[in-house]
Structure 1
């Protein structure tokens, strides 16, 4: 089966995001990629039409769920188009007219589906899965990949005079020291660019040549230290470093070559040097680093080695809302305490009570979070409610097994609960409270 046919088969048989994430291209812009994932998840969440022998109550509930899911899809689609169009205007990206035309027609088609539903066409499952899903993926992999390619942001990178000018273009990995050093090194390159642009990238005096060499050497020194810090971090948690070794060697090699030429007195093509530094660096952050330092890759090995909650909670991304961030950390603390409590006194340890206390805390946190979202008039409230229900149901399933005597509060159970929690906090909560609010 060729690649194209395999991709179509994957899309046709998909039931969750993980089934299709390998056939959906990332643009490299975090807010836009998050929106793409959310839109596709809504389509995949729709249930198939009920059979003729399905009870009336079940049929009614399914139809209402389909409508609710599609309305969420439509609201997210409108906000997503606003985001894309703002990016295209702000950074003068190519393909604007084609994008606007597609946005208009796709939105009109989507609104027609809900109008048909309200007129009595009770199910649109086949249309969503058979037409809308592949069409949306084709648009993401085609037009969006061209419009939001990082090469198109190079003029904006070259105009930047501070990190704040381009921070929304550059992805956050969620690892504090990595993100902090990314920002510092980006600013060092921006400073070099600013200095050289004052004389149209001509190092035309001895003093300017010496200053340019000094600044470039500073970039090289910081880069080598940063790369060493990244490798040390990965090795600390026994995470393979091979995907980092090759790009690190390439970049430091190029820097050595550039500096060698400058030390021989050749300061020509400095604009091309700065363009290379900025372009390669941002692509590396948004590509390789974002994958290698993503919480989904780090969470399990860090949790395995963690001895206290402080050893792990730093990985939980902040929302900027103190109460939410505090409760996120408390949840991790509770997860880490459960196996320890069992080890201390296995005979008296009650898994039903442990999971019950956990569920009570989680539901209280979700109530707090949803109230804060209502007070802040955040549009993604319904999306969060559904995700909250799923997490609570998963913990409730664990309690049911405990009642039946089948549950063990084991490291593997805590790890599974931790994965659900970190995926929600670092994914949906971060997206809602940080990316969308920005």
Structure 2
């Protein structure tokens, strides 16, 4: 596995800085309770259940890091469009350059030795330098390939890989309530950088974008804070921006059987080059915060299907009690409303479908009316995109939809892990 125990202490003279210690929040397939999964190797944990600032995850392994890795507190996600002038060799060269840089960055190193201050005074530095002196901070870098990398909007096979496109890698269908904006949708390539220091995550995307200059350009990017799910049993359950505990039902890193069934593409699946990989869905979901803040507590709990304090299902028990969807109250009405988020997102309502969720909160200032531009940057990994489609269609009658607006959407095939000496996605080009 790529997710290995951290290498504590100093590396190549880089100093260590204390972890920021911000405790996460979260949301779900629209906000609360959609299931997911997490990895098998756990970093040294800090006071808040996240990796210490000295954590360093190996970039190489069976699977890419940043999927089952214990969820870090910060995110910088970026989608890229490949230049129209780039050919197949140029694309492979970009992926190789990104791979080399990512392997160094995840260890707390510059993109190349002496990159920030060791070069010529008469040339731009190879590394932008804002992470000098900072530790790896649990940085993981995860790469994905969008449908348009294989065949662009005009149907052109720019890189000779259309025949190797995964059959399941298609643009997501339109869902009820979608209000998607082009500036937050799609992309040929994506990079997910997660860390416990926001400057480390931003440094990674900044330098990888710089390396891509002339070959690929940023289409859109998103900063996130506060993990929305626990991906390891070592982590406590966070709260989302609606104030509810989120991700209680997420599959944990230690549940290898669930990961094999619901997250990892199997060697028997099509195509074989994607074995050990997954499919990533990214959705930018704006929360109508001001309206939600005026909803009575009891109604909030009915909409979610959990108590706001303990996080227990309204059918009874504690946070981790299995919801009883047959339980009724004194009036004979179900304790878990038919339109509650927990009921609609639960595997029992979706033919056993589960996903690995590791999204983040965002606050992008305010809009022209003075309302918070805030919500959930939803990220899920699944063995097939159909898993996400199934759950999202089930959520069409979710009572929370009154307080949510889906404004961005993208899907990517995430290749399997990278061995030393290889580049990300190498089997695709073999």
**Shared fold by TM > 0.5?**
no
Q: Mark the structure with the bigger radius of gyration.
A: 1
TM-score class normalised by the smaller sequence: under 0.3
Structure-1-length-normalised TM-score: 0.23
**Greater helix fraction, Structure 1 or Structure 2:** 1
